[in-house]
């Protein structure tokens, strides 16, 4: 899915240091201790990492060392059970916190794979916990991020357990639309960064079913689909489909 436009930061070396833009980051309070004299010039600038398309930011079984703030780009979160069955549980975009799955046990339970060249801030977990102990507002912010992750998972469970194929696809597209709007982009025209197979896996459907639903929605003038370029022509109708 289309996310923040690539900036000059994407073309920097593999790992770079955060600078003055930390002052306007929504995570400044969580990322830097509240006793820092000047949050606009943090005493401990955070390292950043470019994760290239197809590369794993972390994999299931990796120990918890860092959380990651997705500054630009998009990823897919993939869980695999002992029998090798896979489920794509989310498609986070810019503004998402990654790695929360490891907090319970200290080990990641899923893979985070970049869908495009993406940029993350590396947030050492021990530092975050120290900041939360010192700053109640920072602790609240981390709790909200965890709760958001839980609510996203509940939304997927609702779609998988209660919705028809058309309703699932509509729910999925409305979710992308809302994320695009939150990042300052058109909620009606965007590029699907994930494959049809990824969408099918995420929604518990066969890829042929996803393609048929897209075709029916296009015939009904709800969508215009050209490869991965998608335009929502009737967003109100899609919302009604989501509601059954």
Same domain for 135 and 17: yes
Domain end residue (candidates: 122, 153, 184): 153
d(C-alpha 138, C-alpha 146), whole Å:
13
% of the chain exceeding 90 in pLDDT: 74
Same domain for 167 and 149: no
At residue 37, the pLDDT reads: 42
Domain end residue (candidates: 86, 118, 153): 153
CATH code of residue 111: 2.60.120.10
Residue 158 lies in a domain: no
Same domain for 60 and 144: yes
Q: In the predicted model, is pLDDT for residue 6 greater than 90?
A: no
Residue 3 lies in a domain: no
- How far, in Å, are 71, 131, 189 from residue 21 at the CA level? 11, 20, 28
Same domain for 149 and 30: yes
Residue 211 lies in a domain: yes
Domain end residue (candidates: 134, 153, 172): 153
At residue 25, the pLDDT reads: 83
d(C-alpha 210, C-alpha 90), whole Å:
17
Mean pLDDT of 42-71: 90
Q: Judge if pTM exceeds 0.95.
A: no
Q: How does pLDDT run across 177-204, given as a tens digit for each residue?
A: 999 998 888 899 999 999 999 999 999 9
Residue 21 lies in a domain: yes
Same domain for 146 and 81: yes
CA angle 166, 169, 172 (to 5 degrees): 150
Residue 4 lies in a domain: no
Same domain for 114 and 184: no
Q: In the predicted model, is pLDDT for residue 14 greater than 90?
A: no
Domain containing residue 209: 163-242
Residue 141 lies in a domain: yes
Same domain for 22 and 84: yes
Same domain for 182 and 73: no
Residue 197 lies in a domain: yes
What three-state secondary structure class fits 86? strand
CATH code of residue 221: 1.10.10.10
The tally of domains found in the chain comes to 2
Q: What are phi and psi of 122, to 5 degrees?
A: -95, 120
Candidates 111, 124, 128; CA nearest to 49 is 124
Contact 194, 1 (CB under 8 A): yes
Residue 2 lies in a domain: no
Same domain for 82 and 185: no
At residue 4, the pLDDT reads: 36
Tabulate helix, strand, coil % of the chain (nearest 5). Answer: 40, 25, 35
CB atoms within 10 A of CB 222: 20
d(C-alpha 186, C-alpha 178), whole Å:
9
At residue 10, the pLDDT reads: 33
Q: Which residue has the tokens 């986070």?
A: 92
């Amino acid at each position: 899915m289309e996310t923040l436009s690539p900036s000059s930061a994407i073309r920097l070396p593999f790992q770079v240091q955060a600078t003055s833009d930390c002052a306007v980051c929504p995570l400044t309070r969580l990322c830097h201790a509240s006793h820092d004299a000047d949050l606009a010039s943090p005493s401990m600038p955070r390292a950043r990492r470019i994760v290239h398309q197809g590369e794993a930011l972390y994999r299931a079984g990796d120990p918890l060392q860092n959380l990651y703030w997705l500054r630009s780009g998009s990823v897919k979160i993939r869980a695999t059970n002992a029998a090798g069955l896979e489920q794509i549980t989310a498609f986070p975009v810019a503004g998402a916190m990654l790695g929360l799955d490891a907090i319970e046990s200290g080990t990641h339970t899923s893979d985070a794979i970049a869908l495009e060249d993406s940029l993350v801030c590396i947030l050492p977990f021990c530092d975050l916990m120290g900041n939360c102990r010192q700053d109640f507002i920072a602790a609240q912010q981390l709790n909200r991020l965890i709760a958001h992750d839980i609510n996203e998972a509940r939304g997927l469970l609702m779609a998988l357990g209660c919705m028809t194929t058309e309703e699932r696809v509509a729910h999925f597209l409305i979710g992308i639309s809302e994320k695009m709007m939150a990042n300052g982009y058109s909620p009606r025209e965007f590029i699907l960064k994930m494959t049809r197979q990824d969408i099918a896996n995420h929604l518990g459907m066969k890829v042929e079913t996803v393609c048929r639903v897209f075709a029916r929605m296009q015939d009904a003038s709800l969508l215009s689909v050209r490869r991965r370029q998608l335009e929502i022509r009737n967003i109100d109708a899609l919302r009604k489909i989501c509601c059954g």
